[in-house]
Amino acid sequence: MTPPDSRLDLANLELAAMEQAFVDAGLPKFRARQVFRWIYRKGVTDFERMSDLGRELRASLGERFRISTPALVHEARSVDGTRKFLLQLADGKRIESVFIPDTPKQTFCISSQVGCAMDCDFCLTGKMGFARNLTPAEIVGQVRVLAAATDLRDKPFNIVLMGMGEPLHNYDAVMASMRILTEEHGMAVSPRRVTLSTVGVVPAMEKLALEPLMPNLAVSLHATTDATRDRIAPINRKYSLEQLLDTCRRFPLKRRNRITFEYVLLDGVNDTPEDARRLVRLLGDIKAKVNLLPLNAAPGIPYERPSDDRVNTFAQILADHHITVSVRKSRGRDIRAACGQLIVEGPKKSAGKKLAALME
Ligand code: SAH
């Protein structure tokens, strides 16, 4: 077996931490900024290719540091242009990231964990179980790999933390990733182009509310009563609808900004006109918009997708009450890249593997 690489992984570091690492190594601080630019502006991670650094410096960087990148194992392309990337991490674990073109922007859907611990009853990732958190290198690395694969490094793109995992269950790494992605000497992604989606980890939302760097917030609501939400999104047993909505009510929003509420429509479970009217009441005093997600059905998921008529009726009730509502088109369903369909072999071997096999 090869011994583990003990060199410090620069891909995990925010610019300030990288500068400190250079200073600690007796290297000039300003060199860190140059390396940071190579990684995030030009997509170069091989010190030998950093042509404005001298030969000696390149050699000593290579001795002390490394720059890890998730390995692209497989890519699937949907008829609708969506591309799903299977990436392998240093420990052999695998994650998926999705590129969704023209929605109307170019969007990267990024994972924050290997698997997920939230166990929502209608989500395939949940069926995998939870393996581990991703590091900042692995979160930002997905953006680097996708930007290179889609040739978008120099163009604007949106990032949604809506892949595998619950981003607020991996808070520190996700916030460090935000700072790396938005760093002006790197990719300089505008925070307005980043959306963090959470199932409602209330204490972490309270913490997020105090962050200087704020992504857009999306909340996976999915139900209008505690009884139903307890059943389909078990986190609700810990933080009730009232607690969650109260936190949303107090969440600081920039002018004109709103919280997106995602609502998976499950036939006969949470999709009645009564649910729609209750949703109107619940969101009454919140600056909200609603994104309806008709279920992407799958073997092993004990729910059905409602008919288009039912979806439209639900949407119409919200619209009649002046709530901005959109119905999410599922993109990439033919390659299992749509919402809630990301699954790779996970720790709950039998269940996850069986499902993954069924989906092939
Ligand atoms: N854990 C975070 C991030 C995942 S975002 C969250 O829950 O918000 C993925 C979105 O797809 C969530 O709103 C999730 O509830 C939704 N989803 C999961 N399974 C789905 C399915 N089978 N069909 C449609 N949407 C699904």
In the prediction, which pLDDT does 334 show? Answer: 84
Range 88-104 average pLDDT? 94
Which residue's CA lies nearest to atom 8 of ligand 1?
198
Residue 357 pLDDT class (50, 70, 90 cuts): very low
| Residue 354 in this model has a pLDDT that exceeds 70 | no
Catalytic positions: 96, 339
C-beta atoms surrounding 200 within 10 Å: 26
Distance (Å, rounded) from C-alpha 161 to C-alpha 108?
Answer: 8
146 CA distance to ligand 1 centroid (A)?
21
pLDDT tens, residue by residue, 275-296: 999 999 999 999 999 999 999 9
> Does any ligand 1 atom lie closer than 6 A to the CB of residue 311?
no
Q: What three-state secondary structure class fits 39?
A: helix
What pLDDT was estimated at residue 61? 98
Q: Treating both helix axes as pointing N-terminal to C-terminal, what angle do 273-282 and 308-320 enclose, rounded to 10 degrees?
A: 30
- Hey, whose CA ends up nearest to atom 24 of ligand 1? 295
Higher pLDDT, 352 or 303: 303
CB of residue 197 inside a 6 A radius of ligand 1:
yes
Q: Is the CB of 183 under 6 A from ligand 1?
A: no
Q: What is the 3 state secondary structure string of 183-234?
A: CCCCCCCCHHHEEEEECCCHHHHHHHCCCCCCCEEEEECCCCCHHHHHHHCH
**Minimum CA distance residue for ligand 1 atom 12:** 220
pLDDT of residue 77: 95
In the block, residue with structure tokens 């107090």: 250
Tell me: pLDDT of 176 over 90. Answer: yes
* 3-state secondary structure (DSSP) of residue 17: helix
Ligand 1 contact via 223 beta carbon (within 6 Å): no
Which has the higher per-residue pLDDT, 331 or 92?
92
Q: How confident is the model at residue 5 (pLDDT cuts 50, 70, 90)?
A: confident
Predicted pLDDT of residue 353: 46
Can you say whether residue 222 is alpha, beta or left, with left for phi > 0 and alpha for psi between -120 and 50 degrees? left
Q: Which atom of ligand 1 is nearest to the CA of 303?
A: 22
Overall average pLDDT of the 141-153 stretch: 97
Which has the higher per-residue pLDDT, 105 or 117? 117
293 C-beta closer than 6 A to ligand 1: yes
